[in-house]
Amino acid sequence: MTRIQEHTFDAIVVGAGGSGLMAAVQLAKQGNLRTAVLSKLYPTRSHTGTAQGGIGAALGNMGEEDHWEWHMFDTVKGSDYLGDQEAIEVMCRESPEVVYELEHMGLPFSRTEDGRIAQRRFGGHTSNFGEAPVRRACYAADRTGHMILQTLYQQSIKHGVQFFDEFQVVDLLIEDGSCRGAVALHIATGELHVFRSKALVLATGGYGQVWEITSNAVTLTGDGMFLVARRGVPLEDMEFYQFHPTGIRRMGILITEGVRGEGGILRNNDGERFMELYAPNLKDLASRDVVSRAIYKEIRAGRGINGERYVHLDATQLGAEVIENKLPEIADFCRTYLGIDPVTEPIPIQPTAHYAMGGIPTDVNGGVVGMQGESVRGLFAIGECACVSVHGANRLGTNSLVDLVVFGRRAGVAMAEYCRGADLEPTSEEPAGPAREELEALLSTAGKSGENAAEIRREMKELMMDNVSVFRTEELLTEAKVKLEELRERAARIAIDDPSRAFNLDLTEAWETRGMVELAQVTTECALNRTESRGAHSREDYPDRDDENWLKHSLAVARDGATEIGYKPVSITRFEPKERVY
Amino acid sequence: MRVTFKVYRYQPEVREDAYFDSFEFDAEPTDRVLDGLNHIKWHLDGTLTLRRSCQHGICGSDALRINGVNRLACKVLIGDVGSKVTIEPLMGFEVIKDLVVDMDRFFGHYRSVMPYFVNDEAPPDRERLQSVEAREAYDDTTKCILCGACTTSCPSAWSNPDFVGPAAIVQAHRFIFDNRDQGSDERLAILAQRDGVWRCRTVFNCTRACPKDIQITKAIGEVKKAIVTDRS
C-alpha cells in the first residue's frame, strides 16, 4: 500500500454479477465511454452463478395465459404491499423483453417442444390475480443463474469491457453530495488504486454471511452497503431479510424452489404435507416467508424429523427423469453433500439466510437517493445491494434475477446519459488517505495479540441466527443489540496474522468483518424499531400487519454506532393493500 | 475424526522457498476439504491463503490438487479422502502465494477462442426458436465453471503453455454446436491452428478432473471432427 496508482474512467461498475455485468454491457454498447468493471473476485465467481430455478417473465409459453399485470400483482402481494408499485410495474413490464434480450445474447434456456423458452412454476406466481399457480419461471435446467452470469460475461468480452479482476473497493469518494470515484485494493499486490469517475454503480450483492446458516457465498459480506452507510447514505428496509425455506440441513446450500415447482412436497416427521394447513390454496408453493415460518412452527411443535431442527423435502414422486433432466445440480448436491439420492430419498432441509430485500435506496434508474429524497449525483446501485424497492417485505422466487437484469440495464443506460452531461469533479488531494490509514493500521496488527476476526464472525452469526432470523421479539432483538455493540467494540481491536502485502485475505476478511457487524447492527435496530409483522419481518410480540402505522419504508443512517431511523412512503398505484392469504 | 492436512506453502514476502506445513485437527467425515482449510485459516494460521467463494461447486474458485488429483475443495468430503490429506495448488501456473495461482494465462486462452455468441442478423421480436434436440447438442459444455481443473491436469498444457487447453475448447464447443450461433467458421479456424485442438493427445485427464462431469475429451473430439469435415 505504498504506491498509489490512479485511473480515470467515465463509468465504473463495482461488482461483476448479473446486475453489474448487465450495466457494463449497456455502457459498452453506448460507445465512446470509458468503462471499467472492478470485482474482488474473477467475474465468473460471482454469486449470480448459483441462482438455480429461473427468471420470472410473463411469456405464456406453456399453453397457459399470462400477463405482466398478473406478475405485478403477485410481486406486490408477495412484498406484503411494501414494494413500490411504480417500480414493480417497471420490472414486470420490462421483464419479457429483457429475457428475450438475454436469449438474443445466446443464453441457452431450456426449451419447450415447440422450441420456445421453457417455463416452470414457482412460489407465489399465479394466474388471474392469485387464482392458481402459473408457469412463469424461464429456466436453463437448474443453473439459470450460471447461464445468465456466463452469458453476460461473454457479452462483456465481446463488447470490450475493461475488467480489473480481484480489485476490492475499500472506499467511495463521496463529497458534497456527489460520488467522484472509488479507492480499490489490488489484492494480488496489496497496492491501492484510485479510480476517478463521473458515474459509479454499486453492484456488490448481499450480506448473507452475517448469519450462521446461509446460502450465500463466503464473499457476500455487504461491502457496497456498509461503504455507502459509512459515507452517510441511508440504508432502506434492512429489517426485511429473507430466509429461503429449503437450505440443505446444517450447510445452508440452496435447494431451488423449482423442486417444489416441479411437484416436490414438504413433510414433517409424521410424513404429513404440513403446508396444506398453512396455505390451503398454494400449499408448498406459497411465498417463502410463509413457508419458512411454517417449517419453524412444525419444528417448535416437535414435528421436525426425529424431533430435530429440520424437515424433509420429498421429491421422490417426481421420478428419475424429471430430477436428472430438470434438476441435475440438485441431484448432484444431494449425492455429494448428503450421500442420498433424491430420486428415492427425501432431502433434509432447514430455512437458510438467503436474500436482502433492503439495501441502498434508489430510483427506477438505479440512481441513489438520500434521506430527504435528494439524489446522490453520480452514484448508482443495482441488484441485491440496492433497494428500488421491488421486493418490499418479501421477495418472490425468480424476481431477484429479474431485478438484476431489468435494473442493471436501466442503470447502464441512465449512467451513459449522465456521463454525457457531466464533468469529472475534483477529488480531495489525497483521496486514498482514509482507506490507506485504515488498512495500514489493520496490517500493523499482524502477529500482535488482539481479537480474532473469525471468532467475532462466529459469535455474530450465531447471535443473528438465534435472535434476528425468522421469528423476532423485543427481548431477542434487544439482547442482540447489546451483544452486537460489544462485538463492534471488539472488532475495532482485531489483530491479524498475515503481515504480507500480496494477496492478504487475512486483512480483507478482517476489514469485511467490521463492515458486517455494522450491517448486523442496522438490521437489528430496524427490526427492533418496526413493531408489526410484515413479510419476512415477523414479530411474535406484534403478530399483525399494521398498515395504519407501518405502511412505510425505513431509512436508517448509522452514526458512530447509533442508528437514526427515518421513513418514506410506499408507492401504491394499482393494488390497494389487503389481507395476504395463499 | 482426527485429520492431518499437509498444505503447500509459498510466502514470498517471508521466505524464498516453498515448503509444506502440517495441521492436525478434529473434523467430521461429512465436512468438505474446504471446511478443513477454512478451519486452518480461521483458527490455526491466518496466513494460509486460498481462493474460495460459493463453497458448493458452482463458482469454480477452489480447484486444487487434493491428494494429487485436481478437485474442487468444496466438492470433496474429508471422509472420502481419508485422514491424511495433501493439498497443493494447481499445476502449470505460477504460484502467487500458498494455494493461489496466477490465472491470467488461463483466461487469456479462454478469451482467444471467441467465447461469446455471434449472430448479426436482426433478432425476432420474441426468442429465437431452438428445438429440444438442438439445445441438447451443446448442453454438456454449458456446465463449465472455468475452474481450471481440466487444463491444469493436461500433460499437453503442462509441456506447452501456448496450448489453449481443454477449458477453452469446451467454451468454444458450447458455441460451435449451438445452431443459433454464426461464428463457428472463425472459431474453428482459431482452434485448427498449431496450438489449438491438435495439441490434445486424448489422455482423458481433463474428463477425469472435471468437477461438473463434462465429457471434455468427447467434446474436443467433436471439435476436431468439425474441423476435419469443415462442418459444425
- Tens-place pLDDT, residues A293-314: 999 999 999 999 999 999 999 9
| Candidate from A114, A115, A496 with C-beta closest to B46 | A496
Find which of A256, A442, A498, A509 to mutate to test the B interface (most B CBs within 10 Å of its CB).
Answer: A498
CA distance B230 to chain A (A): 23
Q: For the packed helices B216-228 and B165-176, what is the interaxial angle rounded to 10 degrees?
A: 60
Buried b (16+ CB within 10 A) or exposed e, A322-337: bbeebbbbbbbbbebb
B225 interface with A at CB cutoff 8 Å: no
Task: Give the mean pLDDT of chain A.
Answer: 96
Partners of residue A158 in chain B, C-beta under 8 Å: 116-118
Alpha-helix runs per DSSP H in A202-336: 223-230, 258-261, 275-278, 288-300, 319-326, 328-333
Question: Quick one: cell of A43?
Answer: 467475474
- Cβ neighbours of residue A157 under 8 Å, at least 6 residues apart? B111, B115, B116
Residue B123 Cα to chain centre, angstroms? 33
| Chain A residue with Cα closest to B49 | A505
Task: Give the mean pLDDT of chain B.
Answer: 97
Angle at A512 between CA A509 and CA A517, to 5 degrees: 125
A window 460-519, beta carbon within 8 A of B: 496-506
A447 interface with B at CB cutoff 8 Å: no
Find which of A40, A44, A504 to mutate to test the B interface (most B CBs within 10 Å of its CB).
Answer: A44
B100 and A503 within 8 Å at the Cβ level: the answer is yes
Question: Quick one: cell of A135?
Answer: 408457469
Query: CA neighbours within 13 Å on the CB side: how many for A9?
Result: 29
d(CA A360, CA A383): 10
A window 143-172, beta carbon within 8 A of B: 143, 146-147, 150-151, 154-155, 157-158
Judged against a pLDDT cut of 90, whether residue A409 lies above it is answered with: yes
d(CA B16, CA B43): 25
d(CA A8, CA A81): 43
Contact (Cβ atoms closer than 8 angstroms) between residue A70 and residue A58: yes
What is the full DSSP assignment across A51-83? --S-EE----TTSS---HHHHHHHHHHHTTT-S
pLDDT at A561: 66
Peptide bond into A449 cis (omega under 30): no
d(CA A526, CA A519): 11
A115 and B117 within 8 Å at the Cβ level: the answer is no
**Entry field: residues in chain A:** 582
Q: What letter would DSSP give residue B42? A: I
pLDDT, tens digit (0-9, with 9 covering 90-100), for A545-557: 999 999 999 999 9
pLDDT at A290: 96
Query: CA neighbours within 13 Å on the CB side: how many for A220?
Result: 28
pTM, entire model: 0.97
Return the active site residues of A.
Answer: 288
Contact (Cβ atoms closer than 8 angstroms) between residue B165 and residue B154: yes
d(CA A179, CA A171): 11
Partners of residue B51 in chain A, C-beta under 8 Å: 45
A28 interface with B at CB cutoff 8 Å: no
A337 and B58 within 8 Å at the Cβ level: the answer is no
Q: Given CA atoms A482, A224, A535, A302 in this order, what sign does their dihedral have?
A: negative
A506 and B46 within 8 Å at the Cβ level: the answer is yes
CA distance B202 to chain A (A): 27
A116 and B127 within 8 Å at the Cβ level: the answer is yes
Residue type, A7: H
- The arrangement of strands across the sheet holding A119-127 comes to A55-56, A132-138, A119-127
Residue type, A140: A
Alpha-helix runs per DSSP H in chain B: 33-39, 78-81, 104-112, 132-136, 155-159, 165-176, 184-191, 205-209, 216-228
Judged against a pLDDT cut of 90, whether residue A317 lies above it is answered with: yes
pLDDT, tens digit (0-9, with 9 covering 90-100), for A242-295: 999 999 999 999 999 999 999 999 999 999 999 999 999 999 999 999 999 999
B77 and A105 within 8 Å at the Cβ level: the answer is no
pLDDT at A2: 59
In total, the C-beta contacts within 8 angstroms joining chain A to chain B are: 157
pLDDT at A556: 98
d(CA A61, CA A114): 9
pLDDT at A415: 98
Partners of residue B45 in chain A, C-beta under 8 Å: 497
A43 interface with B at CB cutoff 8 Å: no
| Candidate from A188, A336, A339 with C-beta closest to B75 | A336
| Chain B residue with Cα closest to A155 | B116
Find which of A111, A244, A251, A325 to mutate to test the B interface (most B CBs within 10 Å of its CB).
Answer: A111
Query: CA neighbours within 13 Å on the CB side: how many for A28?
Result: 21
**R_g (Cα) of chain A, nearest Å:** 23
B62 interface with A at CB cutoff 8 Å: no
Q: Could you tell me which of A385, A348, A352 has the C-alpha nearest to residue A366?
A: A385
Residue A348, CA distances (Å) to A123, A299, A471 in order: 20, 13, 21
| Chain B residue with Cα closest to A51 | B58
Cβ neighbour number for residue A451 with a 10 Å cutoff: 18
Judged against a pLDDT cut of 90, whether residue A403 lies above it is answered with: yes
Our separate counts of H helices and E strands in chain A read: 16, 24
pLDDT at B231: 61
B204 interface with A at CB cutoff 8 Å: no
pLDDT, tens digit (0-9, with 9 covering 90-100), for A72-114: 999 999 999 999 999 999 999 999 999 999 999 999 999 999 9
Helix (H) or strand (E) segment spanning residue A157: helix A144-158
A42 and B107 within 8 Å at the Cβ level: the answer is yes
SS3 A173: strand
Question: Quick one: cell of B95?
Answer: 504460484
Residues above pLDDT 70, as percent of chain A: 99
Partners of residue A218 in chain B, C-beta under 8 Å: 38, 52-55
Contact (Cβ atoms closer than 8 angstroms) between residue A149 and residue A21: yes
B59 and A50 within 8 Å at the Cβ level: the answer is yes
The interface pTM score, or ipTM, of the predicted complex is 0.98
A106 and B58 within 8 Å at the Cβ level: the answer is no
Angle at A497 between CA A495 and CA A503, to 5 degrees: 115
Say how many Å lie between the first and final Cα of chain A, rounded.
55
| Candidate from A111, A154, A251 with C-beta closest to B135 | A111
d(CA B225, CA B221): 6
pLDDT, tens digit (0-9, with 9 covering 90-100), for A181-217: 999 999 999 999 999 999 999 999 999 999 999 999 9
CA distance A558 to chain B (A): 28
d(CA A46, CA A177): 30
Catalogue the E-assigned strands of A53-158: 55-56, 119-127, 132-138
Judged against a pLDDT cut of 60, whether residue A1 lies above it is answered with: no
Contact (Cβ atoms closer than 8 angstroms) between residue A385 and residue A225: yes
